[in-house]
Amino acid sequence: MLDDPHYRAAGYPYVLLDRSFIMDGGTHRYLEPGDPLADFTGRKPVLAVGSNMSPLQLARKFPNAEHGAIPVTRVRLRDFDSVYSTHFTSYGAIPATLYPSPGTVVTLFITWLNAEQEDRMHETEVASENYGFCRLDDIEMEIEAGPAGGASTGLDYLFAYVSSRGALEIGGEPVPLAEVPAENRRWRAVGQLDMQGHAQRLLAPDMTLHDFIRENIADAERRRERTDALHRTALAFERDGVVRVDV
C-alpha cells in the first residue's frame, strides 16, 4: 500500500491497530492476553504519535529480521494530543507531532527500541531536521503492556520526536488527527485528506488537490516553500519537563 505515492501522502497515518503488537522481520503479530513479552532490558520507550504507530510504516522502516523484534505497546497518555505539524514530508503527507492538551487522554503507542533500532529510527526522523528527539518527564499514562505488565510499570517518562517546526493552526488552535482516538479533545479533529484540502486552498487555490499532493512529492523546492508558509503561524510546544536529547 505504501508503494502507492498518493496513498502514502493521503492515507497517513495509515492502519492503526486496536491493541499492542510485536513487529519482527517486516511483519507483526498481536500481543494476546497472557503472552510472554519480549525482554525490555536496554530498550528505550519511544512514543509514536503518527505513522510510527502503524505496522505498515514500521515494516517500511524495519523490513528485515536483522533489525530484531520491536514490542509496540498501546498507551493512554494524559494531557497530550496528536496534532498536525507545520511541514510536508518528502512523500507528501502532513505529519503528526505531540502537543500539550490539558484534560485530553489520547491513545498512542510506545515503540520499545534497543540501541540499533533507535539509531535506525533516528535516521528516519531527525535527519530532515523537522523533528527533535526529546525526553518528556512527569507524565501520566496507562500502558497496556510493558516490562512490568500493564499500567503497573510506574513509568513517568517517555521519549518522543517533537516537531521542530511547531504545530499547524486553524483559527489559532492546533488541529488533532481525526484518525487518532482521544477522549476529551479540546480542539476539532481533522482527517489527513481534509487537512490536505485546507493546505491546498490556503497555499495553491488554483490547483486541484490531486495535483497539489503530487507536486509536493515531486518538487522539493515547492515543498519547502509551502512548509515555510505553514510555519509562519506555527504554535510552539511549551511544557515543563521536556529536554532535548542529542542524537
pLDDT mean over 152-159: 79
**Nearest-angstrom CA–CA distance, 236 and 174:** 10
Q: Assign 3-state DSSP to the chain and report helix, strand, coil percentages, each to 5.
A: 30, 30, 40
| Digit-coded pLDDT (tens) for 118-139 | 999 999 998 778 999 999 999 9
pLDDT beyond 90 at 37:
no
pTM above 0.85, yes or no: yes
The overall average pLDDT reported for the chain is 91
Q: Report CA-CA distances (Å) from 109 to 72, 80, 88.
A: 6, 13, 23
What was the pLDDT predicted at 31? 82
Which grid cell is 16?
A: 492503526
Give the 3-state secondary structure of residue 60: helix
pLDDT beyond 60 at 56:
yes
pLDDT beyond 60 at 208:
yes
Q: Which amino acid is at 213?
A: I
